[in-house]
Structure 1
Amino acid sequence: MMGPLGAMRALSGAVAKCFMLAQQQHSNSSQRVLLPCISSLVRQAHTAQIKPVTEKEQAALSKIRNIGISAHIDSGKTTTTERILFYTGKIKDIHEVRGKDGVGAKMDSMELEREKGITIQSAATYCTWKDKQINIIDTPGHVDFTIEVERALRVLDGAVLLLCGVGGVQSQSITVDRQMRRYSVPRVVFVNKLDRVGANPWKVIQQARDKLKLNAGAVQIPIGVEEFHEGVVDIVKRRAITFGGAKGLDVVEGPVPADLAEEVEARRAELIERVSEVDDQLAEQFLLEEPIEAEQLAAAIRRATLANKFAPVFMGSAYKNKGVQPLLDGVSDYLPCPTDVQNIALDIDNSEQELTLPCSPSGPFVGLAFKLEEGKYGQLTYMRVYSGKVAKGDFITNSSSGKRTRVPRLVRIHSDELEDIQAASAGDIVALFGIECASGDTFTDGSVNFAMTSIKVPDPVMSVSLTPKSTDQLANFQRALQRFQREDPTFTVSNNAETGETIISGMGELHLDIYVERMRREYKVDCEVGRPKVNYRETIQARAEFTYLHKKQSGGSGQFGKVGGFIEPLPEDSTTRYEYANEIVGNVIPPEFYPACEKGFREAANAGSLIGAPVEGVRVVLNDGAAHAVDSNEMAFRLAAIGGFRQAYASARPTILEPVMKVEVTVPVEFQGNVMGDLNRRKGMILDSRQEAEDAVIEAMVPLNSMFGYSTVLRSNTQGKGEFAMEYSHHAPVTKEQQEQLTSAAGKKA
């Protein structure tokens, strides 16, 4: 295989041949010959750098699992991770989430997390189970911190989807599943909290099939539920597993209890049938009615899980220390190692063409910075290494900026503890200190110019104004905002030019409240917080044409630019928010002014004429215009495009869009009527209402503007027993009356 130096020498020689070939063509357009030739050679040089995984590397990588633990809020993610760390010997004792013993769960290292009993930032750790090294990221459950889940799943190979044995598939479970599908992450399911009253794993599995459309099948059945929950039966191996001792350390395997033998065989037959539907090898045995041994069934489950065609379901109660060790076995047996996953990189030197990047430690170094965190030693950059190796002291190149940087320190992360290491290789998740970059940047060793595919960042839906109570705190205020923006792409900061206010935007009330509280605790800055503002948008409902002339003559050279065309709504199923098409025939507008026109139209779409909100769902077509030989310039055509857009916009039946939230409320049954009545008063549309154990679960679509302060009202209406989860669904048109009010208010401000 050609080395880096040999590849570059070959490239240099071949480029010289291309120049000779171009000269022989005696053509003014020699670029048409030269550029494709060079592009092809660059592609060959890059291909020479990419090396397949060797057998020795495969053997080492097969013992690594990079997993995330994700679920709806309060399903037991952090509790499960705490048990995993304890049973793998990573921590010496078990502590609970809310930190009542003064310690708190290891993965909730932030004081706020321990107080509130929720995970705010995803936390990374690593442990060893039998012969496998498991890198784990514990992610938040609350939808306001969904970016933490998004970027974790982007770099992980597999995931554990936790479902509550009582609550089942809840709103955030659906969101997490959608994120797993976006990045094609195989998952195992763990039905937790089987010790609670009303627990029913079979109902949860059916919900996973109906709501998540998963081909889910139980690989275990519980030995008792609620207060009788003792353990599980592994129906693949036909072995009963119980957990004794104070902390579930005594794992006892034995024969299947006689009263469960019939159910085990029935459930095993169902499991074989489900896996046979998606695995040809097992299907052949099943159809021939051959006996299926445990090893053959386990291998088929692994193949189907890696192909994202099956989700094995484990069971237990992490809080009661039951079922976690078999779950670790399931992670080892069924979830992918780094080489089981296809990683796609973009070749920047070849028009961002996609290529498969083998997870080979001997290949060129490629790593993705997926999370930033400000620590006491500076910026901590979390990185997934996809190819090659990186060592302390190496020079690495940022593909986005081209900047070359030395790696001063390399660490492994265990929650808030750091362990210095000398090197990391393909398949590892590590952190670097002293590297300036943005979340989502790709680093290489400079021999290739690749970028890993990006992380989806949702748009903020809520804003508040923020003002420090004292001018002495202004420097710390600015430092805090800069840090939070670097760490969290969904947290944005802007300034209101008219009032001078600082506006922070995020994914919801809790999201912004947490940052205001962190500012007070970590930076000693107390802020005045304005009333939350909804992030409205505007759109059009009809097609409208424009013909606009921008002309200015006031001594000296003037300005002349004329544009013609139309704007129209995009189809409802369109994946883009704004489209621009240049359909000019001939040279009525000189080509050098095309970029200015496009810039003007896009600038006009950034602020609609109704309330100044961004315009989406619009297509702009430029098909006519005129220019002046002397007075036309870029400024003239940019202003003409802005004027043309606004001219057509007024006739295109513009309307205001407001964010609509999907709300799931869980309340005791006796309060169901009051809560549904309150949601109706908030202009909510009830989608579903069902009873689970002693609780009623209500799903509704409600405008975000009507949901401010809802947590206080819900507590009041349910004697403090109700809880709700809310996530952004879509933007929808406001009522005519509301549009008039918003437009009037915007006019008064202007």
Structure 2
Amino acid sequence: MHETQRTLNLGILAHVDAGKTSLTERLLHSAGVIDEIGSVDDGNTQTDSLALERRRGITIKSAVVSFALDDDTTVNLIDTPGHPDFIAEVERVLSVLDGAVLVVSAVEGVQAQTRILMRTLRRLRIPVLIFVNKVDRAGARPEHVLREIAAKLTPAVVPTGEVTAPGTRAATVRPYEPDDPRFTARLVETLAEHDDEILAAYVDDARPLPPARLHTALRAQTARAQAHLVYFGSAITGAGVPALIHGVRELLPAATGDPDGPLSGTVFKVERGPAGEKIGYVRLFSGTVRVRDVLTFGSAGRTAEGKVTGIAVFDRGAAGRADEVTAGRIGKLWGLGDLRIGDSVGVPPEGAAQHHFAPPTLETVVVPATPADRGPLHLALTRLAEQDPLIDLRQDDVRGEVSVSLYGEVQKEVVQATLAEQFGVDVTFRETTTICVERPVGTGHGYEKDLDPFLGTVGLRVEPAPVGSGIRFRLEVELGSMPYAFFKAVEETVGETLREGLHGWQVADCTVTMTHSGYWPRQSHSHAVFDKSMSSTARDFRQLTPLVLMSALQEAGTRVHEPMHRFRIEAPDDTSAPLLSTLARLGAVPREQRQHGAEWTVEGDVPAAHVHALEQRLPGLTRGEGVLETSFSHYAPTRTTPPPTRPRTDQDPLNRKEYLLRVARRVR
């Protein structure tokens, strides 16, 4: 690549149906990558390549396509899903972006997913330009939407032009000139929040700043995600898109990274090729990967190695085969069979393990149409989990069932269609249920020494940890007191065992400390070979740990917590009484109520299990005028007695006698 060549990894994000994919098509057409603009409705867009995406008219998987801006800038554009059921796809893309365009519909305005996305983008300090799309559609209200953006997303927004004839096919966008008072006044006011010189000029009206000075400050504050320009336009007609392209080129910062530095990258997508080979999409932050390089990669304590057998790089159109991929760019890698989504390649990038959105809160059992499909179903779901780890397969060998985690009913329909179309497996689903978690209430201890048939000693202490801290494993014994492999076996088994607590739910936010350890050194009879019956192995510790850990957890006790969603309802004021009554019956807790003329707004928390019921009842309660926004908020203790339980899928270490019988049978 030429030394002055710039690369910008750009995300297109929005609430579903705001026009992301249509905007992607328009950008590709403007750059000369495609001759004709595809239609989401017709199913012929570049980035919605799955048959299911084309049929449903929604984006399900993130897609990368490249185009050139002038001769010195290559944009890797990543189109992401807008439907909240596929938020996991957006989660993975955020970690590889240099900047983003957030699309808002001029008709529907700021929606629930729009707020979640902008809140996350601001928290991660990703530079964002806002594009108000569909100004040509009936009902378009660009000025109203601009006020909504300032009120609901961020006040640090500056409009770049005005719309004439909004809501008609003749709608056009007239950009403001750099010295237009309508632009500079709002710009100075916004930039003054983070620039003392501009603040002084703002206070002293007699000291106007030249447009070049304002532009320099705007570039700097945009790069720091402190200011956001708002563009108006239509992806369908192309109105306003040239101004947006100019803003992308001038304001969003290019990728950085040293091609000669230590290797560091993130895997944000995995797919299978025509021959079933695994292909990983990697954003490199530092270093260079070449064909035949042996790479180290992994995550969450898991490390693997693989030899790169092929590389494709996104550059001015589709991905093309290359000998290498360098820092700042996105490449497709072949040959890494153990690669998983979320893996770090080389040195983990800063913040690589962070999660930006809530995990799925629903699950369902997947049932094959015919019993003979149980094996193919498990294989198919395993392949799907490669592409979406958050579906979190849960195999129940006792009942011969497998369940998956979900964000919503639309995702369930997509899983069903994908299994049928790509794998030839027809399935149905059991009723969708809510995923709870367990948290320790107090401190508990467990201890076992040389319990037949295990040759080893394990002592564990379990205690609560701060919310959101996850599972932490610590040692109170010397690391050299037994082989490291045995400690590693205990640590890994602790994580696996806590997937099912006292009530069958995953245990969250606790610290597990190893308080005792012991093993039988490698022994053999005189003049004989190694005798397993006289020596400890890692298996002893893997099988003894669940018994000790559950004993400690029983002493500590756990409380079941259910997921809660934050809700916001806007409805006519005269419907507030029946709405509040319904909210009470659904276990919702209103936190704040406001009245604006004839409109009433209520915000609060509602159990995730009742969100669907609230969605169904709202239209009838509000004459079809109510608007509901919900998003995951937190986990709260359940109020039901006894608490909800989930069937166990392990060897049930809570039942000591049966566990020992099962494990002894497997060992001997």
TM-score computed with the length of structure 1 as normaliser? 0.71
* Residue of structure 2 in register with 1:489 after alignment: 389
**Structure 2 letter corresponding to 1:138:** D
| Paired-residue identity, % | 27
* Match of residue 617 from structure 1: 509
Decide whether the 8 Å contact of 2:567 with 2:603 is kept in 1: yes
- Structure 2 residue 24 is matched with structure 1 residue 81: yes
CA contact (8 A) 1:490 1:507 kept: no
Note the 1:353-432 alignment, pairs <5 A. Answer: 359-361=257-259, 366-377=264-275, 378-390=277-289, 393-400=291-298, 401=303, 403-412=305-314, 419-421=320-322, 424-432=325-333
Q: CA deviation at 1:335?
A: 0.5
Contact 2:125 2:224 in 1 (8 A): no
Aligned partner (choices 68, 84, 88) of residue 147 of structure 1: 88
Paired letter, 2:278: Q
Equivalent runs, 1:452-467 vs 2, <5 Å: 452-453=349-350, 454=352, 456=354, 459-467=359-367
- The answer on whether the counterparts of 1:144 and 1:727 sit within 8 Å (CA) in structure 2 is no
Q: How far has the Cα of 1:745 moved from its partner?
A: 12
Residue pair 2:500, 2:648 contacting (<8 A) in 1 also: no
Counterpart of 1:328 in structure 2: which amino acid? Answer: I
Task: Pick closer, same or farther for the CA change 1:671–1:562 going to 2, 3 Å.
Answer: same
Is the contact between residue 684 and residue 701 of structure 1 (CA under 8 Å) also seen in structure 2? yes
Q: Which residue of 1 aligns with 2:35?
A: 92
1:233-283 residue CA offsets vs partner (Å, 9 max, x unmatched) = 433525xxxxxxxxxxxxxxxxxxxxxxxxx52442131122133235645
Q: What residue in structure 1 maps to residue 195 of structure 2?
A: 279
1:528 maps to 2:437: no
2:531 aligned partner: none
Q: Is 1:60 matched up with 2:5?
A: yes
The aligned runs of 1:505-544 (5 Å cut-off) are 505-541=405-441, 543-544=442-443
The CA RMSD over aligned residues, in Å, is 4.5
Q: State the shift of 1:738 in Å.
A: 5.4
- The 1-side partners of 2:447 and 2:288 are apart by 59
Contact 1:143 1:727 in 2 (8 A): no
* Count of aligned residue pairs for this structure pair: 628
- In the alignment, residue 615 of structure 1 is paired with which amino acid? V
Contact 1:219–1:271 (8 Å) recurs in 2: no
Give 1:217-236 correspondences, 5 Å limit: 217-223=158-164, 225-227=166-168, 230-236=171-177
**How far does residue 95 in structure 1 lie from its aligned partner after superposition?**
3.4
Unmatched 5+ residue regions in structure 2? 524-533, 656-668
Counting helix residues as a fraction of each chain, which structure ranks higher?
Answer: 1
Is 1:270 aligned with 2:186? yes
Secondary structure of the structure 2 residue equivalent to 1:145: helix
Cα deviations by residue, 1:663-715 (Å, 9 ceiling, x for unpaired): 56688999887766555433233456789999988755332323457766667
Task: Give the 5 Å matches for 1:312-711.
Answer: 312-339=229-256, 359-361=257-259, 366-377=264-275, 378-390=277-289, 393-400=291-298, 401=303, 403-412=305-314, 419-421=320-322, 424-436=325-337, 437-443=339-345, 449-453=346-350, 454=352, 456=354, 459-471=359-371, 473-474=373-374, 476-541=376-441, 543-544=442-443, 546=445, 550=448, 567-571=462-466, 574-580=467-473, 582=475, 605-609=498-502, 611-620=503-512, 646=550, 649-650=553-554, 652=556, 654-663=558-567, 678-686=582-590, 701-707=605-611
Residues 442-465 of structure 1, C-alpha deviation per residue, up to 9 Å, x if partnerless? Answer: 44xxxxx53334254553322211
Whether contact under 8 Å (1:600, 1:638) holds in the other structure is: yes
Deviates more, 1:508-517 or 1:104-113: 104-113
- Deviating more after overlay: 491-500 vs 707-716: 707-716
- Indicate yes or no: 2:46 matched with 1:106: yes
Q: Equivalent residue of 2:314, what SS?
A: strand
Matches within 5 A, 1:177-256: 177-181=118-122, 183-196=124-137, 199-213=140-154, 215-223=156-164, 225-227=166-168, 230-238=171-179
Q: Distance in 1 between matches of 2:517 and 2:324?
A: 60
1:160, distance to aligned residue in structure 2 (A): 0.8
SS of the equivalent of 2:332 reads strand
Amino acid paired to 1:685: V
Query: Which segment drifts farther, 316-325 or 69-78?
Result: 316-325
Greater radius of gyration (CA): 1
Superimposed CA distance per residue, residues 108-147 of structure 1 (whole angstroms, 9 cap, x where no aligned partner): 2222223322211111112233444322111111222112
Q: Secondary structure at the match of 2:390?
A: coil
| Residue 69 of structure 1: how far off its partner (Å) | 0.9
User: Taking structure 2 as the reference length, what is the TM-score of the superposition?
Assistant: 0.79
Deviations 1:152-187 (A, max 9, x none): 221111111122334443321232224324543111
1:600-645 deviation line (CA, Å, top 9, x unaligned): 7656644322x22122233456668999999998999888876665
User: What are the Cα deviations for residues 486-524 of structure 1, in whole angstroms up to 9, with x where unaligned?
Assistant: 111212222112211122223332223211111112222
1:236, 1:294 within 8 Å by CA — same for their partners in 2? no
Answer yes or no: is the 8 Å Cα contact 2:468–2:509 preserved in 1.
no
Query: 2:566, 2:348 → 1: CA distance?
Result: 35
Cα distance 1:272–1:182, how it changes in 2: closer, same or farther (>3 A)? closer
- 1:85 Cα deviation (Å)? 1.9
What is the CA distance between 1:310 and its match in structure 2?
Answer: 1.4
The equivalent position to 1:117 in structure 2, one of 41, 54, 57, is 57
**Counterpart amino acid of 1:89?**
G
Q: Residues 714, 302 of structure 1: CA spacing in aligned structure 2 closer, same or farther, 3 A cutoff?
A: same
For residues 414 and 380 of structure 1, what CA distance do their matches in structure 2 show? 20
Ranges in structure 1 where 5+ consecutive residues have no aligned partner: 1-53, 239-263, 340-358, 444-448
Q: Quote how far apart the aligned CAs of 1:320 are.
A: 4.4
The SS at the match of 1:730 is strand
Deviation at 1:526, TM superposition (A): 0.7
Q: Secondary structure at the match of 1:98?
A: coil
Q: 1:163 aligns with which of 98, 104, 108?
A: 104
Q: How many angstroms apart in 2 are the aligned matches of 1:674 and 1:598?
A: 52
Q: Which amino acid aligns with 2:332?
A: A
Aligned to 2:633: 729
Q: Which residue of 1 aligns with 2:664?
A: none
- SS of the equivalent of 1:661 reads strand
Q: 1:284 to 1:717 in 2, by over 3 A?
A: closer
For residues 553 and 338 of structure 1, the distance between their equivalents in structure 2, rounded to whole angstroms, comes to: 57
SS of 2:5's partner is: helix
Aligned in 2, Cα 1:524/1:691: closer, same or farther, shift over 3 Å? farther
CA–CA separation in structure 2 for the residues paired with 1:494 and 1:656:
19
Question: Do residues 69 (structure 1) and 12 (structure 2) align?
Answer: yes
Query: Aligned AA for 1:451?
Result: P
Q: Distance in 2 between matches of 1:691 and 1:164?
A: 25
SS in 2 for 1:268: helix
TM-aligned CA distance change 1:696 to 1:326, over 3 Å: farther
